[in-house]
Amino acid sequence: MTYTFIHIIHIFSVFIYGGFLITDNLILMRMQKTLSPEKYTEVRKYFALFTKQLVPKALIVAVASGLYLASQVFGEISPDGFSTFQIILSIKIFLGGWLGLRGVLQVFFGIQPFVFTSHRFPFILVVTIILLSQLMFAF
């Protein structure tokens, strides 16, 4: 029951964070081409104002709940080494942990990333994590 509850929380928090990245990368970036620079800056300001409180918390919940879920399904490591499932899950843990660390450092400590300063790279990582989550159950 606990696993199911945390899994639902994880899915909702990923939807919030992923939805933010989709909106930023696929909608707002396209608006930049059609709006004047002043209007685009105003739109970005309002978008940031409305998302600043929710999205970072959703990212932290997604990472924390994802770590819990991974700990519940990782399983025993066989003498032969990691299974394909465990390898893919480990990659997901690394990518999700990187996103979480980057988000915590940026939002709560004001440390801006030196590389990958846009939201395009986190968007690619989220899509990759989602694809990996589907692949790991195929093996």
Per-residue pLDDT tens digits for 57-92: 899 999 999 999 999 999 899 999 999 999 999 999
Among 53, 56, 64, CA closest to 6? 64
Distance CA 66, CA 101 (A): 14
Q: Which residue has the tokens 């899994």?
A: 7
**Amino acid 118: pLDDT:** 76
**Amino acid 116: pLDDT:** 65
pLDDT digits (tens), the chain, 139 positions: 999 999 999 999 999 999 999 998 888 888 888 999 999 999 989 988 888 888 888 999 999 999 999 999 998 999 999 999 999 999 999 999 999 988 888 777 888 776 666 788 889 999 999 999 999 888 7
**Amino acid 120: pLDDT:** 84
**Amino acid 109: pLDDT:** 84
**Amino acid 87: pLDDT:** 95
Quick check: 106 and 112 in contact, CB under 8 A? yes
pTM of the model: 0.85
